[in-house]
């Protein structure tokens, strides 16, 4: 018995004699080599076919994205065709053999799950038992939401660590930064009692260029240069 079948309760099993709703089945492989061999696609199809009776559905149509690596959902033609089939009313939902065949991240899959619940169709992902129309499947989706939150926090932490290291080195964080000498002068003017607007007016009067060619100094751009330089100085002395 597979791991996902253990989560199916008696209440969720199809009743005898009940007609099974037809779902659109989606399969995908990442490389051209996998697409040519057909092995990855065949395994996904076999998993879906074996699961029909267990999870109470039949397959109305198959949709295949072969050799699509790293593409977002919106850039996968077959997946978009499957979703169009659902929205047209010809399909009751979408079934996929594996989570990583459907989305690049938990957050991307959760967005689709929320869309399914909002529009009233079923999303079923077999390898993790995510199902928008079963209690156990909802629990799995809640776990995915937690995983997506942790992923987001870790990415933000890595970005902060990177920016902090750049500040300690006195380097710009990506976009072109204000020259250090000019930033130090802005600090002197502001700390000397001038308002943000007065500092901007003084720099524009002297025709000192901003970091963006052709733009005029504004209170917001002066304030940004001031705070960025202050953070660099603080990081270097920390």
- By annotation, the residues acting in catalysis are 30
Q: In the chain, which ranges are E strands?
A: 22-29, 58-66, 93-96, 122-125, 130-131
CB-neighbour burial class of residue 183 (10 A; exposed 0-12, middle 13-18, buried 19+): buried
Which residue reads 């089945």 in tokens? 25
What is the rounded radius of gyration, in angstroms, for the C-alpha atoms of the chain?
A: 27
Which residue reads 């002297």 in tokens? 206
By DSSP bridging, strand 93-96 and strand 58-66 are: unpaired
User: Which residues, at least 6 apart from 221, have a Cβ–Cβ distance to it below 8 Å?
Assistant: 200, 210, 211, 215
- Between helix 219-237 and helix 180-191 the angle, nearest 10°, is 100
User: Which residues, at least 6 apart from 149, have a Cβ–Cβ distance to it below 8 Å?
Assistant: none
């Amino acid at each position: 018995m597979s791991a996902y079948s253990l989560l199916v309760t008696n209440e969720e099993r199809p009743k005898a004699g009940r007609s099974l709703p037809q779902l659109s089945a989606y399969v995908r492989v990442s490389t051209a080599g996998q697409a040519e061999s057909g092995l990855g696609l065949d395994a996904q199809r076999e998993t879906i076919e074996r699961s029909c009776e267990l999870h109470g559905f039949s397959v109305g149509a198959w949709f295949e994205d072969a050799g699509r690596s790293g593409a977002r959902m919106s850039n996968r033609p077959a997946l978009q065709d499957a979703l169009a089939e659902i929205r047209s009313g010809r399909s009751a939902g979408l079934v996929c053999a594996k989570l990583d065949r459907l989305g690049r991240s938990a957050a991307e899959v959760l967005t689709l799950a929320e869309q399914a619940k909002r529009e009233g169709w079923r999303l079923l992902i077999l390898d993790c038992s995510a199902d928008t129309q079963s209690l156990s499947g909802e629990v799995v989706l809640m776990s995915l939401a937690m995983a997506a939150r942790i992923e987001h926090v870790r990415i933000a932490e890595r970005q902060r660590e990177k920016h902090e290291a750049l500040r300690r080195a006195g380097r710009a964080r990506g976009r072109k930064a204000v020259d250090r000498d000019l930033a130090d002068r802005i600090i002197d003017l502001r700390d000397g009692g001038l308002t943000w607007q007065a500092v901007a007016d003084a720099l524009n009067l002297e025709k000192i260029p901003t970091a963006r060619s052709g733009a005029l100094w504004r209170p917001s751009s002066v304030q940004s240069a001031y705070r960025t330089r202050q953070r660099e100085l603080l990081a270097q002395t920390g």
